[in-house]
Homo-oligomer: A and B are copies of this chain.
Amino acid sequence: MKATIYDVAREAGVSIAAVSQVMNGKGKISEERRGEIIKIMERLNYQPSVIASALTGKKTYTLGLLVPDISNPFFAEIARAVEDQGHHMGYSLVICSSDNKDERVERYLNLLQQKSVDAMIIGTGMDNKDMLTPLMERAIPIAMIAREMPDIDVHTVVVDDFVGGALSATHLLDLGHRRMAILAEHSKVSSSRERVRGFKSKLEEAGAQLPENSVRNCHYVVADGKREALELLDQSNPDRPTALFCCNDLLAIGALQAAKQLGLRVPEDLSVIGFDNTILASVTDPPLTTVAQPIEPMGKMVVDLLIQELKKESKAKQRVVMRPELIVRQSTAAPTECD
């Protein structure tokens, strides 16, 4: 069996208290004893039980990460950034994919609580904001990443989605597009809503108008994006858009596939713009113009915020907004007029 603190104490001929102290560097122990004890710990290959120490009120050194889908490259990249910084600070990560379903969110939230994670990072949307109140009552630090929950006092790390949408609109307008449409995520996703808002606002500024029914809400998967794009690009529609703003790279890929299926060339016949700048954007055909989020800094930041709160070094919840950046690749170009 695994060696316990008792084994070490017995072997060293001291009390468990002494052993505990050398582990935590607390209390006073003679250098001599300390050295001996350490030697014994090594010999026995003693590994203190996180479980036991957590029970006495200490931390579990575990963070929960709730995202819609870890197999979505954007969230996988977020997870990696969070994992790295967490690991760096001595924390490990349990990941949960919610599929944007409230019931799954709730289950996972409960589970993570029962497992006493030290803090929670939430990158998934949810309709019912009350789901977080139990956590807040229990004073479990919470941070949102790439997503917001207004009216709730938690840390938040986001990119300026409004600006990201605006950036895209400006790019498309500059290129000469006037008839555009949007592939948005599920309406419960705050970031997507903001992107749409930013995009529209620039359009209005420029006097351009979105045709009726041209903002499509999709679940965040490729198939949905494709289906909606297919409808939007329906040849029989005289007002067919010349450009599509997609609220994430996956949707953009769906749009690309739809275009290919319809025999539309990108970017000649249709411009497509994505969001997130995941690895996908760099490998598509053609490579995707997209709005980049600074994923790594964002991941690092949430962890820092949370750990700071855990150490009680911080008082107020912070909201940090990072700058998006338009990455122009080859899926956007001036529209070729042919009406």
Contact = CB atoms under 8 A, between A and B. Distances in A.
A85 to B, nearest CB: 12
A94 B97 contact: no
Contacts of A93: 94-96
A187 interface: no
Contacts of A73: 71, 73, 76, 279
Interface stretch (A112-120, A158-166, A178-186, A234-242): A112-120
Contacts of A52: 55
Contact of A47 (B49, B97, B110, B253): B110
A114 B319 CA distance: 34
Contacts of A222: 279
A338 B235 CA distance: 42
Copies of this protein in the complex:
2
Interface in A129-171: 134, 138
A70 interface: yes
**Size class of the A contact interface (CB-based, 8 Å):** 35 or more
Interface stretch (A207-215, A284-292, A308-316): A284-292
B2 A138 contact: yes
A199 to B, nearest CB: 23
Contacts of A138: 1-2
A158 B284 CA distance: 29
A73 to B, nearest CB: 6
Contacts of A50: 114-116
Given A95-B95, A279-B280, 17 more contacts: A1-B138, A47-B110, A47-B113, A49-B116, A55-B55, A61-B115, A62-B94, A70-B80, A70-B83, A71-B73, A71-B80, A73-B279, A93-B96, A280-B280, A283-B283, A283-B284, A285-B287
